[in-house]
Amino acid sequence: MKKYSKKSILNIQRIGIPRGFYYYLYPGLWEIFFRGIGIEPVLTEKSSRRTLELAVPCSESEHCLAHKIFDGHLKSLQDQVDAVFIPRLLSMKKRHICCAKFGALPDASRLGAASLIPVISVELNENRESLTQTLTRLAKNLGVDKAKAQRSVSARHWPVWRKKRKNANLQDGSSLQQGGSCFWVMLILLRMILFVLRV
């Protein structure tokens, strides 16, 4: 992950958070975290026809609809924020993996809809380290001193996030992709396509 100097954190006063993909997997977490380290989070509006219209000129033709909408959210943040936050989401639960699209999202965004906006990213991989450790590392890499970084992910913040996550019908601190469901859905779809092609 790229390290940002202490000088750069002074320049990041407003960080954009697109309401797509990863945002709904961790409802409320990013707002709490960035406020905790002194950066104002700026959320995009909920997805709409306007979001898709913004994506049309800048989104790759091969992107799925969900990715196009995400690109529209990124485009709407242009000229409103100092940077956007797009994590590299590999695993939300030990011994499971997320959809490969989440892993490539920061790179695809840098080359596409977010090419004119600095992208702040961090690898979220609970197979290697806990979410708390990852966020502490992100805060430190953004130039926040160690004590403030640890406070930003302290236990007092988590009850607020856990309540929001529970209200979003997600299991507390675990994965939305239960049992690696993304992988199994893709496998089933592939088998169905192969079956149809044989007939």
| Structural domain contains residue 25 | yes
| CA 75 – CA 50 distance, rounded (Å) | 11
Using DSSP, state whether 164 is helix, strand or coil. helix
Q: Which pLDDT score is estimated for 160?
A: 59
83 contacts 118 by C-beta, under 8 angstroms: yes
| Structural domain contains residue 59 | yes
Task: State the amino acid at position 17 in one-letter form.
Answer: I
| Structural domain contains residue 120 | yes
| Structural domain contains residue 27 | yes
Q: What is the DSSP letter of 117?
A: S
| Structural domain contains residue 121 | yes
| Structural domain contains residue 49 | yes
Checking if the pLDDT of 17 tops 90, the result is yes
| Structural domain contains residue 1 | no
Helix then strand then coil, in percent of the chain rounded to 5, is 50, 10, 40
| Stated pTM of the model | 0.71
Beta bridge partners of 123: 88
Task: State the amino acid at position 88 in one-letter form.
Answer: R
Structural domain containing residue 180: 6-198
Q: What is the pLDDT of residues 78-99, one digit of tens each?
A: 889 999 999 988 888 777 777 7
169 contacts 84 by C-beta, under 8 angstroms: no
The total of structural domains in the chain comes to 1
Q: Which pLDDT score is estimated for 16?
A: 93
Q: What is the pLDDT of residues 143-174, one digit of tens each?
A: 888 787 777 776 555 555 666 556 654 443 44
